[in-house]
Amino acid sequence: MVMAAYLAVATVGYVIVSYLVFGYVEPIGTIVIGFSVLLSLLIAFFLYSGLSKDSELPEDRLDGEIADDSGEVGFFSPWSWWPLALGLACAMLFLSLAVGWWVTFIAVPLAIVAVLGFVYEYSRGAHAH
């Protein structure tokens, strides 16, 4: 929450300084710093909700053993190329903010295909359920 407040103040300061220096509000930097506020609020919410569910983790206890928290960690697909495709599509989407809006028309369909491929990866082919 402290980082979100800092970034909110930084956004307002950036708007004021860019207006005084350039005579107009620079839109891309303002949007990016504003999105940083939203991202820090998302991280704060995630950490706060996780803290309220589990007050003490097994690894935080002084008498904790490794076996106290053993079990399935999660699901991981080491052969999947969809995370790379989705990351490249998101990178192109953010690149469009700096290069030009026309890149968005290429990045959005790629991101949609990557998300659908990522979601339905185990619905078809050799690994279908």
Pairwise CA distance, residues 29 & 36, whole Å: 10
Tokens of 109: 């369909």
Pairwise CA distance, residues 38 & 4, whole Å: 7
Give tens-digit pLDDT for 38-71: 999 999 999 888 776 766 777 778 888 877 777 7
Give tens-digit pLDDT for 72-113: 777 777 788 999 999 999 999 999 999 999 999 999 999 999
The closest of 70, 48, 51 to 59, measured between CA atoms, is 70
User: pTM of the prediction?
Assistant: 0.47
The pLDDT assigned to 54 comes to 62
Sorted by where each begins, the domain ranges of the chain are 1-56, 79-129
Q: Is the dihedral of CA 17, 33, 85, 108 positive or negative?
A: negative
